[in-house]
């Protein structure tokens, strides 16, 4: 099977590309940085230059792929200036749109599945509500971004392609993502509760994320999918388990106002509560290797 991946040089995309290559899939990537890609990947992974901002994308690797995994997008971490927010939303919309337009404009394309990254930010801050794939979108910048992002990919449902919207939680894994940032904080004994710590954090181990993608490649499915562990944690519990696994103190208390002063609008997302349930994965009998937070962190930290 021929698989085309965008965002392959990022934390998730790199590990996914490497694993799918080892599993025997024929992998190609679209990248803005060919030199970096050559240093990361062997010759067996084909590399094509693209730049969605400039509407540059090669047609042949897109229409000749059996499946596309679209993970491209500006990192959401950082101060949300007007320019940063523009990059966050435009990078996601533009990268998805250019792929969709190429497929729509080439009726003889070979694409059968289109897996497009999204996030549980789609649901907004929902406090204690248990959130399923059928739950509506929420309020806030990330919710609106995810809503517009998903709408771009859904257009392909009318062009012979099964689209899947990957509503992914906090991805935990070595050397990248949110884990890398948290590890730095906790190693210096600065970990602890954020505000009252009651907000729900829904997460997924990187190995389970990759296994879910492989599961979706091999099984029939379409529509939105919550990619999270069946057992979300309150932030206070998450912090306690994280610190215990690292054998570091868990004493800090960061008031909401202080976090808002430091991080601006992004703080509202960090303080938000998303109690997300992976009901569709459960219904399909997907087997999680790391459903419990303590086991997930022990595997990562070692």
Per residue in 194-236, pLDDT (tens digit) is 999 999 999 999 999 999 999 999 999 999 999 999 999 999 9
Per-residue pLDDT, 261: 84
Per residue in 43-66, pLDDT (tens digit) is 999 999 999 999 999 999 999 999
Per-residue pLDDT, 177: 78
235 in any annotated domain:
no
182 in any annotated domain:
no
Q: What is the DSSP string of the chain?
A: -EEEEESTTSHHHHHHHHHHHHTT-EEEEEES-HHHHHHHS-TTSEEEE-BGGGTB--SHHHHT-SEEEE-------S---HHHHHHHHHHHHHHHHHHHHHHHT-TT----EEEEEEEGGGG---TT-EE-TTSPP-SSHHHHHHHHHHHHHHGGGGGT-EEEEEEE-EEE-TTSHHHHHHHHHHHTT--EEETTS-SEE-EEEHHHHHHHHHHHHHS---EEEEES-SS-EEHHHHHHHHHHHHT----EEE-HHHHHHHHTTHHHHHH---EE--HHHHHTT---S--SHHHHHHHHH-
Per-residue pLDDT, 280: 98
Beta bridge partners of 252: 192
Per residue in 252-272, pLDDT (tens digit) is 888 898 888 888 899 899 999
181 in any annotated domain:
no
The CATH code of the domain that includes 110 is 3.40.50.720
26 in any annotated domain:
yes
With a CB cutoff of 8 Å and minimum separation 6, the contacts of 114 are 67, 68, 70, 99, 100, 103, 153, 156, 161, 162, 163, 164
Per-residue pLDDT, 251: 84
* Residue 92 belongs to domain spanning: 2-171+204-228
Is residue 168 within a helix (H) or strand (E), and if so which, with residue range?
Answer: strand 162-168
Place of tokens 């099984």: 219
Q: Helix or strand or coil: residue 123? A: helix
> How many domains is the chain built from?
1
Q: Quick one: pLDDT band at residue 291, thresholds 50, 70, 90?
A: very high
Q: Classify burial at 82, counting beta carbons within 10 Å of its beta carbon; exposed 0-12, middle 13-18, buried 19 or more.
A: exposed
Per-residue pLDDT, 191: 85
Average pLDDT for residues 283-298, to the nearest whole number? 96
Per-residue pLDDT, 186: 84
Query: Of 167 and 181, which is predicted with more confidence?
Result: 167
Tokens of 64: 């000749």
Average pLDDT for residues 263-282, to the nearest whole number? 94
Is residue 101 within a helix (H) or strand (E), and if so which, with residue range?
Answer: helix 82-104
275 in any annotated domain:
no
254 in any annotated domain:
no
Is it the case that residue 302 has pLDDT exceeding 80?
A: no
Is it the case that residue 86 has pLDDT exceeding 80?
A: yes
Radius of gyration of the chain measured on its C-alpha atoms: 19
Average pLDDT for residues 130-147, to the nearest whole number? 97
Q: Which of 59, 94, 71, 125 is nearest to 276 (CA)?
A: 125
Is residue 224 within a helix (H) or strand (E), and if so which, with residue range?
Answer: strand 223-227
Is it the case that residue 41 has pLDDT exceeding 80?
A: yes
Q: Classify burial at 42, counting beta carbons within 10 Å of its beta carbon; exposed 0-12, middle 13-18, buried 19 or more.
A: exposed
Is residue 195 within a helix (H) or strand (E), and if so which, with residue range?
Answer: none
111 in any annotated domain:
yes
Average pLDDT for residues 118-144, to the nearest whole number? 97
55 in any annotated domain:
yes
pTM: predicted TM-score of the whole model, two decimal places: 0.95
**Pairwise CA distance, residues 80 & 269, whole Å:** 11
């Amino acid at each position: 099977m021929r698989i085309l991946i965008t965002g392959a040089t990022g934390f998730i995309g790199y590990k996914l590309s490497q694993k799918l290559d080892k599993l025997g899939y024929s992998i190609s990537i679209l990248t803005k940085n060919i030199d970096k890609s050559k240093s990361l990947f062997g010759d067996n992974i084909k590399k094509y230059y693209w730049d969605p901002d400039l509407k540059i994308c090669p047609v042949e690797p897109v229409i000749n792929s059996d499946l596309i995994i679209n993970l491209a997008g500006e990192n959401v971490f950082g101060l949300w200036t007007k320019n940063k927010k523009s990059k966050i939303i435009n990078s996601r919309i533009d990268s998805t749109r250019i792929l969709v337009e190429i497929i729509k404009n080439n009726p003889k394309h070979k694409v059968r599945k289109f897996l497009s990254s999204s996030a549980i930010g789609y649901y907004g801050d929902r406090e204690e509500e248990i959130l399923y794939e059928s739950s509506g979108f929420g309020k806030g910048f990330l919710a609106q971004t995810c809503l517009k992002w998903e709408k771009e990919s859904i257009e392909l449902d009318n062009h012979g392609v099964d689209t899947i919207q990957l509503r992914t939680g906090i991805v935990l894994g070595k050397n990248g993502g949110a884990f890398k940032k948290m590890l730095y904080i906790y190693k210096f004994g600065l970990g602890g509760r954020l505000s009252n710590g009651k907000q729900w954090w829904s997460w997924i181990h990187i190995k389970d994320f990759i296994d879910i993608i492989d599961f979706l490649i091999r099984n029939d499915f379409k529509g939105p999918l919550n990619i999270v562990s069946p057992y979300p944690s309150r932030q206070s519990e998450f912090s306690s388990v994280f610190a215990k696994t690292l054998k570091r103190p868990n004493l800090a208390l960061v008031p909401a106002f202080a976090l808002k002063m430091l991080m601006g609008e992004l703080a509202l997302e960090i303080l938000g509560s998303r109690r997300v349930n992976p009901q569709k994965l459960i219904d399909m009998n997907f087997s999680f290797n790391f459903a419990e937070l303590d086991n997930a962190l022990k595997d990562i930290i070692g």
